[in-house]
């Protein structure tokens, strides 16, 4: 099935300006809260099954199947909590902000359906501290929802009652990691927790907790409305449904656009992003922690299988950052690693020290004082830390690593060019050492 047109963004005009915030009445007038009514008439287990059947995968970055996450909740432990992850802190990602800026009720409806489906009586929307405008929009929307009986009181004909709260973060990237988020929600320092126990067993306040991304919950609304088969018809077999893509960087029309999963990056950039400014050189598929796509990977399909196919970590948040041939990749990488070094929570030794070390090396390289063996050091460091080799608790270090690894493997010449021999001051000498693993990098499709 071809993509039928905006689904999550259907209420938002292509040029929304500042005046198209959908209040409760606008939302209801355009068919809002119909899915909730429909859901409340269904047994909760059927809704969970519907979401499982739809193949909806988490939109927050990891792409974990949303339905199976819901089925992990132990049957007999109450209360349970729903934590909505609106700590959208990944550079290059702004899709959730866009959605909430104009249509906050779609999230609230998704929350109400998810809560009903999982017998949850309390949910928290964890919103990043910098999103003060969105926090205000959500508070207002929440007040409307409360006054119209969506939250806070029993729905007619059911025992279902639900309370929802907006919790503002204090501006830390790590609080977007799900257990870091829970710690922060509990009023503690946002240090990711060791697992097990997983949040589904002992999450917020040591009770079973589901943590879902804003867009994931918004997707639940059309799934209930149109059914699982309709949702599954979009996208690819393993990545179904529509997806919000945020395009930024060297494109003519940056912004948030909705398309089905599996769309080619080139199509996305040209059809929606207005084409590349200048000549395409590289792109980050979804937030800076995912690594980089090489020049010959311009046609990469943006779906959850992108990681295996194109040698990046994954689709991430689908915040595509496009770079043209005037871009200095060492500077970009320095900036990326600076971010991870600054945002490392400092709990695990390898990430705390390793990201800062890589940042210092890259600082030196960018300042023209790089040495050939610095690149090998960077590669070695990027392979020793992270949740994937098991040396850190959470995946923050993996983000830094994949950036370093893929930048060095896919664009070795850019780095060799700036690394000068320490023996010949001021003269750029091609690097003598090989960047190990460079040959193993996928050549693209």
Partner 1 sequence: MPTMEVDGQMVSWEGKKTILQACNDANVPIPHYCYHAGLSIVASCRICLVEMESPDPKDPAKMVKLPKLTPSCQTPAVDRMKVTSKSPKAVANQKAVMEFLLINHPLDCPVCDQAGECYLQDYSFNYGRAESRFEEDKIKNPKKDIGLHVLLYSDRCILCTRCVRFTREISGSGELAVFGRGAREEIDVFPGKTVDNPLSANVIDICPVGALLDKDFLFSQRVWFLKSAASISPISSGGENIFIHHNHGRIYRIKPRFNADVNKWWISDEARYTWQFVHENRLHACHRMQYGSFVETSWERAYAQTTEDLQKAVRDNGPGSTAAVLSPFASTEEMFLHAKFARSIDPQAWLAVTPPRIDGQDQVFKNPATGAVTFTIRAEKAPNRRGAEKITAHFGGNACALEELAEKIKNKKVMAVLASADPLPGMDKPVLAAIGAAPTLIALTSRHTGLYEKAGLSMPTCTWAEKAGVYENCDGRIQAFQQAIDPLENCRSDGRIFWDLLAHEGTHSAAAVRHEMAAAGLADYANVAIPQVEKPLEVMEFSAL
Question: In the complex, which residues of this chain contact partner 1 (CB under 8 A)?
Answer: 172, 189, 194, 341-350, 352-357, 360-361, 364, 377, 384-385, 388-393
Determine the 3-state secondary structure of 171 from DSSP. coil
Helix ranges (DSSP H) in 72-173: 95-102, 104-117, 132-147
Q: How far is the CB of 337 from partner 1 (least distance, A)?
A: 12
Q: Which is nearer to partner 1, 271 or 360 (CB)?
A: 360
Q: Would you call 102 exposed, middle or buried from its count of C-beta atoms within 10 A (0-12, 13-18, 19+)?
A: buried
Q: How far is the CB of 224 from partner 1 (least distance, A)?
A: 36
Measured CA distances, 384 to 246, 316, 379 (Å): 31, 22, 9
Q: How far is the CB of 389 from partner 1 (least distance, A)?
A: 6
- H/E run at residue 387: none
Q: How far is the CB of 78 from partner 1 (least distance, A)?
A: 22
CB neighbourhood size of 371 (10 A): 18
- H/E run at residue 166: strand 163-168
Determine the 3-state secondary structure of 305 from DSSP. coil
Q: How far is the CB of 351 from partner 1 (least distance, A)?
A: 8
Q: Which two tokens stand for residue 386?
A: 């992270």
Q: How far is the CB of 356 from partner 1 (least distance, A)?
A: 3
Q: Which is nearer to partner 1, 346 or 444 (CB)?
A: 346
Crossing angle (nearest 10°) for helices 214-226 and 95-102: 60
Q: In the sheet where 242-249 sits, what is the strand order?
A: 255-260, 242-249, 319-324, 280-284
Q: How far is the CB of 364 from partner 1 (least distance, A)?
A: 7
Q: Which is nearer to partner 1, 128 or 243 (CB)?
A: 128
Q: Which is nearer to partner 1, 59 or 338 (CB)?
A: 338
Measured CA distances, 2 to 57, 225, 228, 364 (Å): 20, 19, 16, 49
If phi over 0 gives left and psi between -120 and 50 gives alpha, with beta otherwise, what is residue 322? beta
Q: Which is nearer to partner 1, 318 or 351 (CB)?
A: 351
Q: Which is nearer to partner 1, 263 or 345 (CB)?
A: 345
Q: Which is nearer to partner 1, 277 or 352 (CB)?
A: 352
- H/E run at residue 269: none
């Amino acid at each position: 099935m071809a993509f039928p047109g905006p689904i999550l963004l259907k209420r938002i005009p292509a040029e929304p300006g500042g005046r198209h915030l959908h209040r409760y009445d606008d939302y209801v007038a355009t068919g809002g809260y119909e899915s909730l009514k429909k859901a409340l008439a269904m047994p909760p287990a059927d809704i969970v099954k519907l979401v499982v059947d739809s193949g909806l995968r988490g939109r927050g970055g990891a792409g974990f199947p949303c339905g199976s996450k819901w089925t992990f909740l132990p049957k007999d432990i109450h209360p349970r909590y729903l934590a909505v992850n609106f700590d959208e802190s990944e550079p290059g990602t702004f899709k959730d902000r866009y959605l909430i800026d104009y249509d906050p009720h779609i999230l609230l409806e998704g929350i109400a359906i998810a809560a009903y489906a999982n017998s949850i009586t309390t949910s928290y929307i964890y919103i990043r501290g910098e999103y003060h405008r969105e926090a205000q929009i959500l508070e207002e929307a929440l007040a409307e929802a409360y006054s119209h009986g969506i939250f806070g009181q029993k729905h007619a004909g059911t025992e279902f009652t639900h309370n929802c709260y907006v919790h503002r973060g204090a501006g830390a990237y790590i609080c977007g990691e799900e257990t870091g988020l829970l710690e922060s929600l509990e009023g503690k320092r946002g240090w990711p927790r060791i697992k097990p126990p997983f949040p589904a067993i002992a999450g917020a306040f040591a009770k079973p907790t589901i943590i879902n991304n804003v867009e994931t919950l918004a997707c639940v609304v059309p799934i209930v409305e149109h059914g699982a088969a309709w949702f599954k018809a979009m996208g690819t077999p393993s990545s179904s449904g529509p997806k919000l893509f945020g395009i930024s960087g060297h494109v003519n029309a940056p912004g948030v656009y909705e398309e089905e999963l599996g769309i080619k990056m080139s199509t996305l950039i040209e059809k929606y992003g207005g084409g590349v400014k200048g000549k395409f050189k590289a792109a980050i598929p979804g937030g800076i922690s995912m690594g980089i796509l090489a020049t010959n990977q311009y046609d990469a399909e943006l779906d959850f299988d992108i990681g295996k196919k194109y040698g990046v970590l994954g689709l991430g948040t689908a915040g595509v950052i496009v770079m043209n041939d005037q871009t200095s990749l060492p500077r970009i990488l320095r900036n990326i690693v600076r971010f991870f070094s600054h945002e490392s929570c400092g709990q695990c030794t390898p990430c705390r020290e390793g990201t800062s070390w890589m940042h210092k090396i890259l600082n030196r390289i960018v300042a023209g004082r790089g040495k050939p063996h610095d690149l090998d050091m960077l590669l070695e460091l990027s392979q020793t830390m992270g949740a994937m080799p098991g040396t850190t608790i959470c995946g923050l270090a993996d983000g830094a690593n994949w950036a370093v690894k893929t930048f060095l493997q896919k664009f070795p010449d850019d780095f060799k060019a700036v690394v000068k021999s320490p023996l010949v001051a001021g003269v750029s000498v091609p690097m003598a050492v090989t960047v190990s693993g460079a040959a193993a990098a996928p050549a693209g499709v």
